[in-house]
Structure 1
Amino acid sequence: METMLTVEGLGKSFKDKQIISNISFEVKIGEIMALLGPNGAGKSTTIRNIMGIMYPDEGSITFHNSKGKGIPRNKIGYLPEERGLYKNVKVMDILLYLAELKDYPLDRAKQRALDYLKKFGLEGKDKVSVEELSKGMGQKVQFIAAIIHEPELLILDEPFSGLDPVSQELFKEEIRSLAANGTAILLSSHQMNLVEEMADRLFLIHRGTRVIYGPLSDVKKEYANFKCTINGTNSLALLESLPEVERVQQNGESAVLYLSKHIQPAVWLKNLPAELDIQELSIDRISLHEIFIDIATDKNLLKEGAELHA
């Protein structure tokens, strides 16, 4: 796939504190790229540099063949983490105003706004002021504002915040549709289950530097060992004595067994002892949520020293 955005060697400091250092990644046409990290890791600084809200001390940002201050901002859509629609302005007026700022034809913007309002369950809200909307409704309007001008690159910072499960599904469906139609999407979110469902690749930043970068499937293989959940009456000693078990988390009759890397699940299951009480059993890989928590809290329970590249 052709590359839409290239971030190379990005560095930014405030006073004497280095916020991000040597940040490099790409976002390709038609892919969903996740930018992840704990609070304070440098995600927002990275996004603000891409948006031109601030400029890096080091490195470069390239949009197609445009660099730095020459990046065409009308080709980029941005949903910020901090929402900022004018509260006393009618929904349609604010959407058309933002479309005009992007040099987008107003007749087409109006039709797109009406279509999206209907799609997101906001039909008839075009003449309502923003302050009259619920938090979830306001989030939908802000999302429409980010895509009203058909951006080539869409940056979404915590897009699912404040949404109920039904609205989350609507957003997920629309984000996938945009990517399928060629929009390059940079997605930042703390909701790891949703990221895991959607992202093609991810870049995980911690303390301003890259920790993990690569396709989600490869990240899972590299970092996410298998785990086995067993429901049954078993002693901790028995569970810990099982082959290839590195650690056990037990809560009553439920236990999660974290297994050694490179095990073959089918072979491992065949070798379980007959005295093991199994009422229910499931085996899968460690979730992206668990990988994130491990890195963010410096538990070092996963493979140490590994780095995955795109």
Structure 2
Amino acid sequence: MPSGTLQLTGVTKNYGARRVLDDVSFSVAAGRLTGFVGGNGAGKTTTMRIVLGLLSSDGGEITLGGAPLTADARRQFGYMPEERGLYPKMKVLEQVVYLARLHGLTKADAVEKATALLTELGLGERLNDNLEALSLGNQQRAQIAASLVHDPEVLILDEPFSGLDPLAVETVAAVLQERASRGVSVLFSSHQLDVVERLCDDLVIIAAGTIRAAGPRDRLREEHSAPRWELESSGDVGWLRDEPGVTVIDFEGGNAIFDAEDPAIAQRVLRRALDGGDVAHFAPQHPSLSQIFKEVIQ
């Protein structure tokens, strides 16, 4: 069974006089998808490699379920690096079976699990093809299968959607969501902010080696929301321009986007709109992940 939350606290890393990670702290909860975003060189891959024990840190602590992270615990991790690391002249199924055997599975279990997983990822008809015969997107699917075949408790994926077409993105996303539903802790990095925003439960934003924002996606959207509202009404709302405490951002007929610092003002606008016609939609406007990202890294 999954061992609980993966917690990083105060992790630092130096290369000579240059500090590449500075007091990095965030958590990856069991049963949740955590999106890890940042520009090139921000520190994502370095952080992941420290969690996996591939790099040592210069300070801080990493725990799993409240206990120090050990080599034995890391054997229950699944990892997909950004760089493709599979053998190009090996058959797809043979390769994933081989990696499953390294994790201690019997040959029969390894074949069964590898076949089912590759089929789930859309490679059921390519099991006996050499990896180099696959498209880059299908090679990416095979690499994801390699990270999952031993049923890891914690899954760490560096750019898993790179090179995938939209259909393949949906296939891989469904697999990750299914693993999270089993209680697996999933941390993945991606430059595709629209995919991260749609898929993840929690967000971690890193820039220049420091964490700029971390927490549940919806909470971060609320925290970084401007006092902006959307109104869709059957009546004309031109009167909004003269409403005290309101700044109109966009306006057309019965539809408007406006700022109102005080929620009481927004409610006053809603009551007046209802007096003038039917209101189809009235809600605060939340920023996209792209907007939050730009705001916090400045």
CA deviations 1:171-219 (Å, max 9, x no partner) are: 1111111011111111211222222222222222222112112212211
Q: 1:245 to 1:42 in 2, by over 3 A?
A: farther
Contact 2:246 2:265 in 1 (8 A): no
Alignment of 1:111-126 (within 5 A): 111-126=112-127
Q: 1:259 to 1:169 in 2, by over 3 A?
A: farther
Deviation at 1:62, TM superposition (A): 2.1
Deviation at 1:107, TM superposition (A): 1.6
Alignment of 1:41 with 2:42, yes or no, is: yes
Aligned-partner SS, 2:57: coil
Question: Equivalents in 2 of 1:55, 1:245: separation in Å?
Answer: 53
Q: 1:255 to 1:92 in 2, by over 3 A?
A: same
Deviation at 1:291, TM superposition (A): 0.7
| Letter aligned with residue 114 of structure 2 | A
Deviation at 1:104, TM superposition (A): 2.6
Question: Equivalents in 2 of 1:82, 1:246: separation in Å?
Answer: 49
In the alignment, what sits opposite 2:236?
none
Alignment of 1:178 with 2:191, yes or no, is: no
Deviation at 1:38, TM superposition (A): 2.0
Q: 1:239 to 1:164 in 2, by over 3 A?
A: farther
Contact 1:156 1:188 in 2 (8 A): yes
Deviation at 1:125, TM superposition (A): 1.3
Question: Equivalents in 1 of 2:44, 2:140: separation in Å?
Answer: 21
Deviation at 1:224, TM superposition (A): 2.4
In the alignment, what sits opposite 1:77?
78
CA deviations 1:60-97 (Å, max 9, x no partner) are: 22234663553433200011122221111111121122
**TM-score, reference length from structure 1:** 0.79
Q: 1:266 to 1:175 in 2, by over 3 A?
A: farther
Question: Equivalents in 1 of 2:153, 2:132: separation in Å?
Answer: 30
Question: Equivalents in 1 of 2:153, 2:219: separation in Å?
Answer: 26
CA deviations 1:267-305 (Å, max 9, x no partner) are: 445668xxxxxxx99863111121112233x2xxxxxxx
Aligned-partner SS, 2:211: strand
Alignment of 1:182-193 (within 5 A): 182-193=183-194
In the alignment, what sits opposite 1:235?
none
Question: Equivalents in 1 of 2:49, 2:31: separation in Å?
Answer: 22
Question: Equivalents in 2 of 1:84, 1:104: separation in Å?
Answer: 21
Identity of aligned residues (%): 32
| Letter aligned with residue 34 of structure 1 | G
Deviation at 1:157, TM superposition (A): 1.4
Task: State the Cα RMSD in Å.
Answer: 3.4
Q: 1:242 to 1:119 in 2, by over 3 A?
A: farther
Question: Equivalents in 2 of 1:263, 1:194: separation in Å?
Answer: 35
Q: 1:2 to 1:88 in 2, by over 3 A?
A: closer
Q: 1:136 to 1:260 in 2, by over 3 A?
A: farther
In the alignment, what sits opposite 2:96?
95
CA deviations 1:131-190 (Å, max 9, x no partner) are: 000011111111100100000000111111111111111111111110111111112112
Unaligned runs of 5+ in 1: 232-237, 273-279, 299-310
Question: Equivalents in 2 of 1:31, 1:264: separation in Å?
Answer: 37
Q: 1:282 to 1:81 in 2, by over 3 A?
A: farther
Question: Equivalents in 2 of 1:243, 1:145: separation in Å?
Answer: 60
Q: 1:246 to 1:64 in 2, by over 3 A?
A: same
Alignment of 1:224-243 (within 5 A): 224-225=225-226, 227=228
Contact 1:25 1:203 in 2 (8 A): yes
Alignment of 1:1-310 (within 5 A): 3-64=4-65, 67=68, 70-225=71-226, 227=228, 260=261, 267-268=268-269, 284-296=285-297, 298=298
Q: 1:152 to 1:229 in 2, by over 3 A?
A: same
Deviation at 1:16, TM superposition (A): 0.7
Deviation at 1:245, TM superposition (A): 6.4
Q: How many residues align?
A: 288
Contact 1:225 1:259 in 2 (8 A): no
Question: Equivalents in 2 of 1:281, 1:81: separation in Å?
Answer: 42
Unaligned runs of 5+ in 2: 233-238, 274-279
